[in-house]
Chains A and B, each alone.
Chain A
Amino acid sequence: AQSVAQPEDQVNVAEGNPLTVKCTYSVSGNPYLFWYVQYPNRGLQFLLKYITGDNLVKGSYGFEAEFNKSQTSFHLKKPSALVSDSALYFCAVRDSADSNYQLIWGAGTKLIIKP
Protein backbone atom coordinates (compact mmCIF):
# COMPACT_ATOMS: atom_id res chain seq x y z
CA ALA A 1 0.00 0.00 0.00
CA GLN A 2 1.10 3.54 -0.66
CA SER A 3 2.05 5.71 2.26
CA VAL A 4 3.85 8.91 3.18
CA ALA A 5 5.48 9.70 6.50
CA GLN A 6 6.53 13.07 7.79
CA PRO A 7 8.22 12.03 11.02
CA GLU A 8 8.39 15.48 12.59
CA ASP A 9 5.23 17.29 13.66
CA GLN A 10 7.22 20.50 14.08
CA VAL A 11 10.63 21.80 13.06
CA ASN A 12 12.19 24.87 14.66
CA VAL A 13 14.99 26.73 12.89
CA ALA A 14 16.69 30.05 13.50
CA GLU A 15 16.46 32.59 10.69
CA GLY A 16 19.43 32.34 8.36
CA ASN A 17 20.14 28.70 9.21
CA PRO A 18 19.56 25.85 6.77
CA LEU A 19 16.33 23.92 7.13
CA THR A 20 15.26 20.37 6.35
CA VAL A 21 11.75 18.95 6.46
CA LYS A 22 11.73 15.18 6.18
CA CYS A 23 9.53 12.92 4.07
CA THR A 24 9.69 9.20 3.44
CA TYR A 25 7.37 7.22 1.21
CA SER A 26 6.33 3.73 0.24
CA VAL A 27 5.03 2.80 -3.21
CA SER A 28 5.16 -0.29 -5.39
CA GLY A 29 6.26 1.38 -8.59
CA ASN A 30 8.10 4.58 -9.36
CA PRO A 31 7.07 7.52 -7.23
CA TYR A 32 5.84 10.91 -8.28
CA LEU A 33 6.65 13.16 -5.31
CA PHE A 34 5.35 16.60 -4.44
CA TRP A 35 5.84 19.27 -1.77
CA TYR A 36 3.17 21.81 -0.90
CA VAL A 37 3.09 24.66 1.61
CA GLN A 38 0.04 25.96 3.46
CA TYR A 39 -0.18 29.31 5.19
CA PRO A 40 -2.88 29.89 7.85
CA ASN A 41 -6.41 29.86 6.45
CA ARG A 42 -5.11 29.44 2.91
CA GLY A 43 -5.15 26.67 0.35
CA LEU A 44 -2.09 24.62 -0.48
CA GLN A 45 0.58 26.07 -2.75
CA PHE A 46 2.70 23.84 -4.95
CA LEU A 47 6.44 24.11 -4.23
CA LEU A 48 8.15 21.45 -6.30
CA LYS A 49 7.93 17.92 -7.66
CA TYR A 50 10.08 14.98 -8.62
CA ILE A 51 8.96 12.92 -11.60
CA THR A 52 12.16 11.66 -13.17
CA GLY A 53 15.69 12.83 -13.92
CA ASP A 54 17.95 14.73 -11.54
CA ASN A 55 17.58 13.70 -7.95
CA LEU A 56 17.87 17.32 -6.79
CA VAL A 57 14.88 19.39 -7.80
CA LYS A 58 14.52 23.12 -7.31
CA GLY A 59 11.26 24.87 -6.65
CA SER A 60 9.64 28.09 -5.56
CA TYR A 61 10.92 30.49 -2.89
CA GLY A 62 14.43 28.99 -2.89
CA PHE A 63 13.32 25.54 -1.77
CA GLU A 64 14.81 22.35 -3.14
CA ALA A 65 14.31 18.66 -2.45
CA GLU A 66 16.47 15.61 -2.86
CA PHE A 67 15.06 12.33 -4.08
CA ASN A 68 16.84 9.33 -2.59
CA LYS A 69 15.54 6.07 -4.02
CA SER A 70 17.52 3.76 -1.74
CA GLN A 71 16.25 5.55 1.37
CA THR A 72 12.80 6.19 -0.15
CA SER A 73 13.06 9.78 0.96
CA PHE A 74 12.27 13.18 -0.49
CA HIS A 75 13.44 15.74 2.06
CA LEU A 76 12.69 19.43 1.55
CA LYS A 77 15.60 21.82 2.08
CA LYS A 78 16.51 25.48 2.00
CA PRO A 79 20.00 26.86 2.55
CA SER A 80 18.94 29.93 4.54
CA ALA A 81 15.58 30.11 6.30
CA LEU A 82 13.38 33.20 6.39
CA VAL A 83 10.80 34.05 9.04
CA SER A 84 8.25 34.14 6.20
CA ASP A 85 8.92 30.43 5.55
CA SER A 86 6.99 29.63 8.72
CA ALA A 87 4.03 27.53 7.57
CA LEU A 88 2.69 23.99 7.32
CA TYR A 89 4.45 21.77 4.78
CA PHE A 90 2.96 18.68 3.17
CA CYS A 91 4.64 15.91 1.22
CA ALA A 92 2.53 13.84 -1.21
CA VAL A 93 3.20 10.83 -3.41
CA ARG A 94 1.59 9.03 -6.28
CA ASP A 95 2.60 5.59 -7.53
CA SER A 96 3.18 5.75 -11.28
CA ALA A 97 2.16 2.07 -11.54
CA ASP A 98 -1.19 2.63 -9.83
CA SER A 99 -4.32 3.31 -11.84
CA ASN A 100 -5.71 5.15 -8.85
CA TYR A 101 -5.13 8.84 -9.46
CA GLN A 102 -5.16 9.87 -5.83
CA LEU A 103 -2.28 11.62 -4.18
CA ILE A 104 -1.34 10.17 -0.82
CA TRP A 105 -0.57 12.94 1.66
CA GLY A 106 1.60 13.15 4.73
CA ALA A 107 0.20 14.58 7.94
CA GLY A 108 2.20 17.76 7.57
CA THR A 109 5.12 19.38 9.36
CA LYS A 110 4.84 22.76 11.01
CA LEU A 111 7.93 24.82 10.28
CA ILE A 112 8.71 27.64 12.68
CA ILE A 113 11.48 30.06 11.82
CA LYS A 114 12.58 32.22 14.74
CA PRO A 115 14.17 35.64 14.21
Chain B
Amino acid sequence: DTGVSQNPRHKITKRGQNVTFRCDPISEHNRLYWYRQTLGQGPEFLTYFQNEAQLEKSRLLSDRFSAERPKGSFSTLEIQRTEQGDSAMYLCASSYTGDSYEQYFGPGTRLTVT
Protein backbone atom coordinates (compact mmCIF):
# COMPACT_ATOMS: atom_id res chain seq x y z
CA ASP B 1 0.00 0.00 0.00
CA THR B 2 1.74 3.19 -1.18
CA GLY B 3 -0.03 5.73 0.96
CA VAL B 4 1.14 9.21 1.90
CA SER B 5 4.42 9.12 3.77
CA GLN B 6 6.03 11.82 5.89
CA ASN B 7 9.52 12.15 7.30
CA PRO B 8 10.62 12.51 9.95
CA ARG B 9 7.82 11.29 12.20
CA HIS B 10 9.17 13.28 15.13
CA LYS B 11 11.45 16.29 15.34
CA ILE B 12 12.73 18.00 18.43
CA THR B 13 14.56 21.26 17.85
CA LYS B 14 15.73 24.26 19.77
CA ARG B 15 14.11 27.62 19.35
CA GLY B 16 15.69 29.55 16.51
CA GLN B 17 16.75 26.52 14.48
CA ASN B 18 15.44 25.71 11.01
CA VAL B 19 13.59 22.48 10.28
CA THR B 20 12.46 20.80 7.08
CA PHE B 21 9.81 18.15 6.66
CA ARG B 22 9.19 15.95 3.66
CA CYS B 23 5.96 14.55 2.26
CA ASP B 24 5.63 11.89 -0.42
CA PRO B 25 2.06 11.78 -1.75
CA ILE B 26 0.21 8.95 -3.41
CA SER B 27 1.81 8.81 -6.84
CA GLU B 28 -1.32 9.36 -8.95
CA HIS B 29 -2.44 12.39 -6.92
CA ASN B 30 -1.93 15.86 -8.40
CA ARG B 31 -2.90 17.82 -5.32
CA LEU B 32 -0.88 18.05 -2.15
CA TYR B 33 -1.89 19.84 1.04
CA TRP B 34 -0.13 20.86 4.23
CA TYR B 35 -1.98 21.28 7.51
CA ARG B 36 -1.05 22.01 11.09
CA GLN B 37 -2.86 20.37 13.97
CA THR B 38 -2.59 21.13 17.66
CA LEU B 39 -3.84 18.87 20.42
CA GLY B 40 -7.59 18.48 20.48
CA GLN B 41 -8.16 20.64 17.43
CA GLY B 42 -9.04 20.03 13.81
CA PRO B 43 -6.46 20.53 11.07
CA GLU B 44 -5.61 24.09 10.08
CA PHE B 45 -4.93 24.58 6.40
CA LEU B 46 -1.49 25.94 5.55
CA THR B 47 -1.03 25.61 1.80
CA TYR B 48 -1.72 23.45 -1.21
CA PHE B 49 -0.18 22.55 -4.54
CA GLN B 50 -1.58 21.37 -7.80
CA ASN B 51 1.31 19.62 -9.46
CA GLU B 52 4.28 21.94 -8.82
CA ALA B 53 2.23 25.14 -8.53
CA GLN B 54 1.49 26.49 -5.08
CA LEU B 55 -2.05 27.74 -5.54
CA GLU B 56 -3.05 28.89 -2.10
CA LYS B 57 -1.43 29.88 1.17
CA SER B 58 -3.13 30.50 4.47
CA ARG B 59 -2.59 33.71 6.39
CA LEU B 60 -1.30 31.34 9.10
CA LEU B 61 1.73 30.71 6.92
CA SER B 62 4.09 33.42 8.10
CA ASP B 63 7.23 34.47 6.28
CA ARG B 64 9.15 31.90 8.30
CA PHE B 65 7.26 29.09 6.56
CA SER B 66 7.95 28.01 3.00
CA ALA B 67 6.80 25.03 1.02
CA GLU B 68 7.94 23.61 -2.29
CA ARG B 69 6.95 20.84 -4.65
CA PRO B 70 9.65 21.15 -7.26
CA LYS B 71 8.74 18.39 -9.68
CA GLY B 72 5.14 17.89 -8.77
CA SER B 73 5.94 14.83 -6.72
CA PHE B 74 7.25 15.11 -3.14
CA SER B 75 6.97 18.32 -1.16
CA THR B 76 8.98 19.96 1.60
CA LEU B 77 7.84 22.32 4.31
CA GLU B 78 10.55 24.45 5.93
CA ILE B 79 10.19 26.48 9.08
CA GLN B 80 12.93 29.02 9.71
CA ARG B 81 13.84 30.42 13.12
CA THR B 82 11.43 28.10 14.92
CA GLU B 83 9.41 29.38 17.85
CA GLN B 84 7.78 27.44 20.67
CA GLY B 85 4.40 28.26 19.15
CA ASP B 86 5.37 26.22 16.11
CA SER B 87 5.14 23.02 18.17
CA ALA B 88 2.38 20.98 16.55
CA MET B 89 1.65 18.03 14.31
CA TYR B 90 2.26 18.86 10.65
CA LEU B 91 0.06 16.82 8.35
CA CYS B 92 0.39 16.26 4.64
CA ALA B 93 -2.45 15.04 2.44
CA SER B 94 -2.91 14.34 -1.24
CA SER B 95 -5.84 13.90 -3.58
CA TYR B 96 -6.85 13.66 -7.20
CA THR B 97 -7.67 16.89 -8.97
CA GLY B 98 -11.34 17.66 -8.54
CA ASP B 99 -13.31 19.24 -5.77
CA SER B 100 -15.23 16.18 -4.71
CA TYR B 101 -12.27 13.93 -4.11
CA GLU B 102 -11.29 13.05 -0.59
CA GLN B 103 -7.86 13.80 0.78
CA TYR B 104 -5.61 11.03 2.03
CA PHE B 105 -3.40 11.91 4.96
CA GLY B 106 0.05 10.88 5.99
CA PRO B 107 0.94 9.95 9.59
CA GLY B 108 2.21 13.45 10.32
CA THR B 109 5.42 14.95 11.68
CA ARG B 110 5.30 15.96 15.31
CA LEU B 111 7.45 19.03 15.93
CA THR B 112 8.55 19.99 19.42
CA VAL B 113 10.39 23.28 19.82
CA THR B 114 12.24 23.60 23.12
Residues of chain A within 8 A of B91, CB atoms compared:
43-44
Q: Given the complex, which residues of A lie within 8 Å of B56, measured CB to CB?
A: 100-102
B13-21, B61-69, B78-86, B105-113: which lies at the interface:
B105-113
Contact of A90 among B31, B42, B93, B107 (CB under 8 A): B42
The A-B contact count (CB < 8 A) is 53
Q: A100 to B33, alpha carbons, bound, how many Å?
A: 13
**What are the interface flags for B77-102 relative to A under an 8 Å C-beta threshold, 1 for contact and 0 otherwise?**
00000000000000101000001101
Q: Contact string, A78-115, partner B, CB cutoff 8 A, digits 1/0? A: 00000000000010101010001111011110000000
Q: Are A101 and B42 in contact (CB under 8 A)?
A: no
**A74 interface residue per 8 A CB criterion:** no
Q: Is B103 an interface residue (CB 8 A)?
A: yes
Is A43 within 8 A of B106, CB to CB?
yes
CB-CB nearest 4 A-B residue pairs: A105-B42, A43-B105, A44-B105, A51-B100
14 residue pairs from A and B, CB less than 8 Å apart: A32-B100, A43-B6, A44-B43, A45-B105, A49-B100, A49-B102, A90-B43, A96-B99, A101-B31, A101-B48, A101-B99, A102-B48, A105-B44, A108-B41
Known: A49-B100, A90-B42, A90-B43. 13 other contacts (CB 8 A): A32-B99, A34-B102, A43-B6, A43-B91, A45-B105, A46-B102, A94-B99, A96-B99, A101-B31, A101-B99, A103-B45, A105-B44, A108-B40
